[in-house]
A and B are shown apart, each in its own frame.
Chain A
Amino acid sequence: MLLPERSPLPRIVPLALFWLGACLTLCARAALKEGDPFPALDPTELRTIAGAAFPETKGKVILVDFWASWCAPCKASFPMLSRFQREFGPRGFVVVGIGIDEKVAAAETFVRKLAPTFPTLHDHSQRLVKKVEVPTMPTSFLVGRDGKVKFIHRGFQGDRTEKELRSHIEKLLLEAGQ
């Protein structure tokens, strides 16, 4: 008796997709996610810009913003970050801008020109930015008092970003009793 020939394709397709998925999973590096502890801001790795003091972050809600002098949206986001610092600073909140320029002079010129009200640091060796694996420039990490990432904002979309970040900061400060 002759059995009907069956195509092996239906059995092969799920196997192929599984193989591809496994390869992609292995390839994907673990970027920082919400709920993960944010790496400590190490003064030996991060230099202060324009002679400013290293920011005091202990027990505070922190907004860590990664910027670069060559990134136009980063430049556009600075006035908003300065407003946040002025408005929420007295309530136990601090914005820390981390420049990732390869050239120190470019980062310093950028900071001098924009004169932000929040402290800025320079990740000259790009160790921190590699550790957190920022998905885009700029990226802001809202870190709670417990040192864990509460919210990650990718890019800068003007008023929409301000509204979104403001609501998260206010919520976090209220939770912290501030």
Chain B
Amino acid sequence: MHLIRLKPVCLLGLLVLLLSGCTNPQLVRVKPWEREALSGYTMRPDRDPIHTLMMEHTYFSREIASGGRGVGGSGCGCN
């Protein structure tokens, strides 16, 4: 019984210790003025049209629903 009551306390303690680890100033944090590389064209998910086309084809083939990635309408042909 006593052990069961101690369990949440231990879990809470562990959680707090883990979260306090996130406050370590030595951790790498990208500051607003350091985001030049992140704003580059190569960081865009839609930078390669062929890749986008292939992904859409895969989505269509697996889901049997064309237009699921941004184009209006579904595979039923009703709209």
Contact = CB atoms under 8 A, between A and B. Distances in A.
B24 interface: yes
Interface residues of A, number: 30
Most buried by A among B23, B25, B39: B23
Contact of A27 (B6, B16, B23): B23
Given A5-B2, A20-B20, A24-B23, A13 B33 contact: no
Nearest to A136: B32
A9 B8 contact: yes
B16 A5 contact: no
Contacts of B33: 66, 68, 100, 126, 129-130, 134, 137
A101 B6 contact: no
B32 A5 contact: no
Contact of B39 (A66, A71, A134): A71
Most buried by B among A8, A16, A68, A101: A16
A130 B31 CA distance: 9
A23 B17 CA distance: 10
B69 to A, nearest CB: 24
B19 interface: yes
A130 B23 CA distance: 19
B5 interface: yes
B20 A19 contact: yes
Given A16-B12, A26-B23, A70 B5 contact: no
B41 to A, nearest CB: 10
B54 interface: no
Contacts of B20: 19-20, 23
B12 A23 contact: no
Nearest to B12: A16
9 contacts: A5-B5, A12-B12, A20-B16, A68-B33, A70-B39, A129-B33, A133-B31, A137-B32, A137-B33
